[in-house]
Structure 1
Amino acid sequence: MAKMKLRNMRKTIINKTIEECHEEYLNYCISIGQRDKTIESKIRFYRFELSKIINISESIETLTKSIIENKVISMRREGYKGNTYKTFVIKTRAFLTYCFDNNYLRKFNVKIPTIDSDKKIIYTEDELNKLLKKPNLDECLVGDFKGWATINFLFGTGCRSETLLNVKVEDVNFFNDMILFRHMKTRRQITVPLSPTLKNVLKEYIVVMNLINEDLLFPKLNKEKMCYDTLHQNISNYFKNRNVKMRGVNTFRNTFATFFIINHGDIYRLKIILGHSNIKTTERYINLLPINVSTDICKFNPLDVLNKKNLKIRLKINKEI
């Protein structure tokens, strides 16, 4: 009998199809508790991206490094944004790592592309004024009123769309002026301040929409939970009625952060409100915002502040003389 070490036997490649491997991969992701949205994203990636570059009924060994690199090259030549092909590689690598770990595929290195991050898009002050103009309650449609309240909430809290869809009426504490966010990307519950303006909007909205504590704050008309696609469509319709270009629901998060910093809010409070677990995440976020700090340099520079203070003292003394 030929002598073979056990560790060599364990490294024997198990022949499976891409389809079989990905089905196991999804089950594994579900078993370790990944979010439903994450699982849906992996399924879409498999159906609409991975299956387009390779035959999923073939062996997993046909998924090679050159296929991935050629796909990235193709995306770059076709003018795709850096984040698009970077995300493609990240998702592919996550699937490959599972295959490597289970000896379905011989390991090879997949490098995530280095890209220049684009500045985040925000809504302008002029656009916000159009969106935040209160509709006439005696004449407007229910959708217009809900859209107005939704925009106020998104811009007034900086929350993600999934967070908004899971907020209940009882999560809004009008006594302590706080809102509880149960559904966060980091899986931590946080409380954020309820601004006076948003407080007045929500008080009226809850009464008009006849909502009770157990209800979702922004449900469908039958009070069932709204999905993201419905939310996106409703807000798109609202934007169209207000003659404002729609740039995405979560663009309000970028807009909130930008105006927060412009209005001299500090990064540590912003970290708490955005629900970031690490201050470095907030720093990277701010670096991508369209903020020009040069206009405020003189206003806050210690040398200029002290000089202005001394100038006022000298002027005061001269007047007294």
Structure 2
Amino acid sequence: MIKMNRKHIDKTFDECFQQFLLEHCTLKNMSEDTKKYYIENMKYGFYKYYDKDKNINELTQDDINGYILYLQSKEIKDTTINIYLKALKTVIIFYKKKFWIDKNITVIFVKEDKQQVEGYTDEEISVLIKKPNMKDLTFAQYRNWVIVNFLCCTAARRSTVINIHKEDLDLENGYCKFRHTKNRKPLTVPITLSLINILKEYIEYLPVDCPYLFPTVQGEKMK
């Protein structure tokens, strides 16, 4: 009987992880944010517990279980633990497909306590979107107020907002183009008349040579 045995390779865990980044992220043309997600979760998660320079063949289920206990000992939220584990699970699945590790090694998520997220009340939202006194306002304060109004109208993600260019706005027809989205597909969304009026006034304060709609005070892209 032919059995699919794992390969014995002379590579460290981290060397295999670099191979994962190449094949799973770069060659599949995934976004830099996705690649960064895996790198940071390994750097600030698994590599704080496990020696990344150990041979890949030495990884065991006990190491995975120990990592989960390690995370739980840090008294961080269950949702945060599962974010770390989700990244590791994808890496482990990749390793198993390569026959680098025991096929029975698994990453199991911890049970999360459901927490009800409290939203803003109508009164709180009214305070947030109320136009401030422009007399003593700094540009950063003014920009942030405009961003709050923009978020309330469009529900855009942070990464989407900081990548919007002035040329992405069509204020005459009431639309804004999102060039940076989670699925990497451009999206055109409608904007309200009140937001249009806010943006028209706000744009007058932006430097002509600044392409970004919401830049830093230095006229650069926000991070």
Q: Counterparts of 2:80 and 2:212 in 1: how far apart (Å)?
A: 33
Larger radius of gyration: 1
**1:146 aligns with one of 121, 143, 147:** 143
Contact 2:49 2:70 in 1 (8 A): no
Q: 2:36 aligns with which of 35, 40, 47?
A: 40
Judge conservation of contact 2:9–2:57 (CA < 8 Å) in 1: no
Q: Does 2:85 match 1:100?
A: no
Asked if structure 2 preserves the Cα contact closer than 8 Å seen for 1:168 and 1:217, the reply is yes
For structure 2, which runs of at least 5 residues remain unmatched after alignment?
Answer: none
1:133 aligns with 2:99: no
1:271-302 CA-to-partner distances (Å, cap 9, x unmatched) read: xxxxxxxxxxxxxxxxxxxxxxxxxxxxxxxx
1:204 maps onto 2:204 in alignment: no
Aligned letter for 1:89? L
1:56-71 correspondence runs (5 A): 56-71=52-67
Q: Which residue of 2 aligns with 1:162?
A: 159
The residue aligned with 1:123 is: 120
Q: What's the TM-score once normalised by structure 1's chain length?
A: 0.62
Counterpart residue type for residue 205 of structure 1: Y
Q: CA deviation at 1:74?
A: 4.1
2:212 corresponds to which of 216, 241, 248:
216
Give the whole-Å Cα distance in 2 for the aligned partners of 1:33 and 1:118: 35
Please state how far the C-alpha of 1:145 moved relative to its aligned partner: 0.9
Q: Alpha-carbon deviation of 1:120?
A: 3.2
User: 1:87 is matched with which residue: 83, 88, 101?
Assistant: 83
Indicate the SS of the match to 1:88: helix
SS across alignment from 2:64? helix
The 1:134/1:211 distance shift into structure 2, 3 A limit, reads: farther
* Pick aligned residue for 1:193 from 190, 195, 198: 190
Structure 2 partner of 1:27: 22
Q: Distance in 1 between matches of 2:28 and 2:116?
A: 34
CA apart distance, 1:190: 1.7
Deviation at 1:63, TM superposition (A): 2.8
- Does the residue aligned with 2:188 lie in a helix, a strand or coil? strand
Partner amino acid, structure 2, of 1:52: K
For the 8 Å contact 1:68–1:89, the answer to whether it is kept is no
Counterpart secondary structure, 1:208 = coil
The match for 1:241 is none
Percent of counterpart pairs with the same letter?
27
Q: 1:186 to 1:51 in 2, by over 3 A?
A: same
Comparing both structures, which one devotes a greater share of its residues to helix? 1
- Report the CA distance between 1:78 and its aligned residue: 4.8
Equivalent pair of 2:140/2:217 in contact (CA under 8 Å): no
Q: Which residue of 1 aligns with 2:107?
A: 110
**Pair 19,75 (structure 1): closer, same or farther in 2 beyond 3 Å:** closer
- Matches for 1:73-84 after TM superposition, within 5 Å: 73-76=69-72, 78-84=74-80
Say which SS state the counterpart of residue 209 (structure 1) adopts. coil
Question: What count of residue pairs does the alignment treat as equivalent?
Answer: 221
Aligned residues of 1:169 and 1:211 also touching (Cα < 8 A): no
Where do 1:242-321 residues align within 5 Å? none
More displaced stretch, 23-32 vs 127-136: 127-136
RMSD: 2.4
